[in-house]
Amino acid sequence: MSAHHPVILPDGHATLGVMGGGQLGRMFVHAAQQMGYRTAVLEPDPASPAGLVAHEHVRTGYEDVIGLTALANVAAAITTEFENVSAASLRQLAAHRPVAPAGDAVAVCQDRAAEKAHFVASGVPCAPHARIESDADLAAVDVSTLLPGILKTSRMGYDGKGQRRVADAAELARAWSDLGRVPCLLEKMLPLAAELSVIVARGADGCCVHLPVQRNLHRDGILAVTTVPAEGIPAATQDAAIASAGRIAAELAYVGVLCIEFFVLADGSLVANEMAPRPHNSGHHSIDSCDVSQFDLQVRTLAGLPLVQPRLHSPTVMLNLLGDLWWDAAGRERTPDWAGVLALPGTHLHLYGKAEVRRGRKMGHLTVTAATPEAARALALQVAAVLGFEPF
């Protein structure tokens, strides 16, 4: 390992820091503590899921100079749990401590246009697209090839936010106005057959490993179900997705955990959709289904420890638990039937410790493991029936 990114062993004193206090930070903290590290979280919310379980909680904003200095003083190395943390803050921290992923890599993931350009530079196909940042850009759009399409804000979009479907030039103009005329990217709508994600972990030495390919189902732009193995996806397509993810990470000189979402088109071809510079919702199953989870990999890449190829020991289905499940069909608030779910074999409940339940808010996830993919799916459908989760 280079001097710029030294090996940090879990000696009982070493502290690993994370920017952000959400559920991803919480699961990183759990993985780091299990390996023997102390942990520190920078997050303004005093009741954040990660802040509540970390050894140290720096309660400031993500760009607060005093808070960043405090985190750098206590942590031997620092990572992030969400992509919208300031890249400038990560660069500031990197002047004092190893930071993975680097601010420059996160900056690419924060801008859809830069992200698409990176896919192209990596030799990975993506949807035809056009940048719209001015009236001239809007007028120059080739409507014959790019519409119908999806207009997306270039920055700060996630879980389907900041997006509009557009069928013609008039709808496109209205959508850009509705989005505040901020810089946007128009992507051509493609005939989709399936959605996949690949999570890779790349060390400072260039070693790269990956989780099994994951097949995902989204509802209203939010991940609902992840299935591993990726049912119905040819091995050649999965191999191509893994190879593409590796090239994308290498081209960024990336260090850390990186998720790439792919579309499988109706003709069987593969295009990259977007990437996230952190562990990903679709990889949460790995805590229960693999011998090395995505959060273990995040700890290893940050601390400069050896990377080993994760092995799937149990076929799995993961259900994303949104706040909607806390209301019944009549709109009455309730507590989901956790006892009924946990009475089923192979169920693993993960709630994130969020104090306030809101519709559409990610409150937890539930992983189902079984001896075969068919058994995992059947059991997951039983879980769905108990919870009132829409079947899949």
Annotation: binding site for ATP? 112, 152, 157-163, 187-190, 195, 218, 273-274
Token representation of residue 117 = 């350009």
Token representation of residue 25 = 């930070």
Q: What does each C-alpha distance from 324 to 225, 321, 330, 361, 384 come to in angstroms?
A: 15, 8, 12, 8, 13
Residues with Cβ within 8 Å of 4's Cβ and at least 6 positions away in sequence, in order, are 98, 204
| DSSP state letters, 135-200 | HHHHHH--HHHH-SEEEEESSS--TTTTEEEE-SHHHHHHHHHHTTT--EEEEE---EEEEEEEEE
Cβ atoms 55, 17 nearer than 8 A: no
Q: Which residue numbers belong to the known binding site?
A: 112, 152, 157-163, 187-190, 195, 218, 273-274
Burial (0-12, 13-18, 19+ Cβ within 10 Å), 348: middle
The letter for the amino acid at 249 is: A
Measured distance CA(38)–CA(377) in Å, rounded? 38
HEC profile for 283-318? HCCHHHHECCCHHHHHHHHHHCCCCCCCCECCCEEE
| DSSP state letters, 1-67 | --TTS------SS-EEEEE--SHHHHHHHHHHHHTT-EEEEE-S-TT-TTTTTSSEEE-S-TT-HHH
Mapping DSSP to helix (H, G, I), strand (E, B) and coil, where does residue 203 land? coil
Q: Which of 82, 71, 68 is nearest to 23 (CA)?
A: 82
